[in-house]
Amino acid sequence: MRAVVCEGAGGVEVLTIGEIPDPTPAVDEVVIDVVAAGVNRADLLQRQGNYPPPPGAPGTIGLEVSGTISAVGAEVEGWSVGDECCALLAGGGYAEKVVVPAPQVMPVPDGVDLISAAALPEVVATVWSNIFMGAHLKAGETLLVHGGASGIGTMAIQLGVAHGARVLCTVGSTDKMDFCTRLGADVAINYKEAEWASVVSEATNKAGADVILDIMGAKYLQDNVKSLAYDGRLVVIGMQGGTRGELDLGRLMSRRGSITGAGLRVRSVEDKGRILAEVVGHVWPLVAAKKVRPIVHRTFPLAAVAQAHEALEQSTQIGKVLLTL
């Protein structure tokens, strides 16, 4: 089958289209004929040699797909050949076929086309597991989302609004500010033109945010802690701004704050299955009711994978970048 093959580690020039063996499902797995695959920042890191797949995962890049099931393991229940689906992966998505543990497969939500469904698994699982299962965001609380126009950010805004939270976000352009406010954010802050922590303080009457979803890591650590409300929860899911920062423990303790770091790819199949079961139960009805939707910036054919990576690296996109097969 065709797949994206990395010839070493480095820039987009290492991405080529090659042939790899077709996958065969184990007893508890299914094979999906891929229609579309999501492009994530983790994919860029893997291409650069900085984020190797976990043990046992396919070496091919790609953490989420949509498509049609073409083979089913002997012990799999609830899925049949021909079913349309989307899936969360530990790797392997940039290919014509991918093998996936059955608990990591979800039905396509009502009202979503099969290509757009590839924009959902990674972002919805990340947002739901961290903001709701982990940080327990409640109606009436304030949620601060960094990278509000990203795939994860656009989903976090929508789910926060759908659950009755007040949502603030940081973005890098006026266009992104406008888009995020149309999506439901109460306040969108252009971090290139304003000190976002000061704006958060003013917008919350110095109360701060109850939950902060952070993709920057070290660069934002001090201002994130400063921006926490009493009993506030900071969830770090990315390190685009570095891995090591200085933490003001006195400030954290005075606000009774907590900090958690979370990754999705390395979780067990059982953990991922538990998260996705909640997603199907709690988020898919919101999608069907058109209160939440996948935001797709642009699609690229598989052969244009280098351009897809470049689009994400430029950080000009709003929502998700997808590959189509």
Of the two residues 227 and 247, the one the predictor is more confident about is: 227
What does the pLDDT read at residue 311? 95
Burial environment of residue 298 by CB neighbours within 10 A (0 to 12, 13 to 18, 19 or more):
middle
Above 90 in pLDDT, residue 112?
yes
What does the pLDDT read at residue 56? 87
Helix (H) or strand (E) holding 232: strand 228-236
| Residue percentage of the chain with pLDDT more than 70 | 100
In 141-231, alpha helices (H): 151-162, 174-183, 196-203, 221-226
What does the pLDDT read at residue 62? 98
List, for residues 133-144, the tens digit of each pLDDT value. 999 999 999 999
What does the pLDDT read at residue 39? 98
What does the pLDDT read at residue 240? 85
What does the pLDDT read at residue 262? 84
Above 90 in pLDDT, residue 127?
yes
- The CA distance from 90 to 266, in Å, is 8
Of the two residues 217 and 110, the one the predictor is more confident about is: 110
List, for residues 3-45, the tens digit of each pLDDT value. 999 999 999 999 999 999 999 999 999 999 999 999 999 999 9
Question: How would you write 259-272 as a 3-class SS string?
Answer: EEECCCCCCCHHHH
What does the pLDDT read at residue 267? 93
The pLDDT of 136-155, averaged and rounded, is 98
What does the pLDDT read at residue 70? 98
Of residues 311, 285, 221, 216, the one with CA closest to residue 259: 221
Of the two residues 243 and 212, the one the predictor is more confident about is: 212
Above 90 in pLDDT, residue 243?
no
The pLDDT of 113-119, averaged and rounded, is 98
- The CA distance from 324 to 65, in Å, is 10
List, for residues 164-208, the tens digit of each pLDDT value. 999 999 999 999 999 999 999 999 999 999 999 999 999 999 999
What does the pLDDT read at residue 229? 98
Average pLDDT over the chain reads 96
The pLDDT of 284-288, averaged and rounded, is 98
- The CA distance from 8 to 14, in Å, is 6
The residues facing 93 across adjacent strands are none
| Residue percentage of the chain with pLDDT more than 90 | 91
